[in-house]
Amino acid sequence: MGKTLEVIRTLEEIHHSADALVDAVGRLEALLQEQPKKEEPVLKLEDVRAVLAEKSRNGFTAQIRELLQKYGADKLSAVKPEHYKALLNDVEGIGNAD
């Protein structure tokens, strides 16, 4: 009878531990849902223009024109806003190669 009682107590402890884990997971899920998602700031034409103008002043006008063409435009105002971030990422590489 002693072994059976020991097994029953062990199973009860496991059950109690499992319940505690389920409660902890529930609290963590609630905490994660409460935290607001950080949204990236929306890039504006003026923001992109400022970066491109600086690169152009530094002598990279030809490379900027090539990048504009990559995005299907002959001038910045013709670039679709959804491409601003990618364009800026490409522009960052101009003149930074070692």
**Confidence grade of residue 97 (pLDDT, cut at 50, 70, 90):** low
- Residue 72, C-beta contacts closer than 8 angstroms, at least 6 positions apart: 78, 79, 80
CA distances for 29 relative to 34, 54, 81, angstroms: 9, 46, 35
pTM for this entry: 0.58
Indicate the DSSP class of residue 94: T
pLDDT tens across 20-63, in order? 999 999 999 988 887 777 777 889 999 999 999 999 999 999 99
CB 89 within 8 A of CB 40: no
Q: Rounded to whole angstroms, how far apart are CA atoms 12 and 5?
A: 11
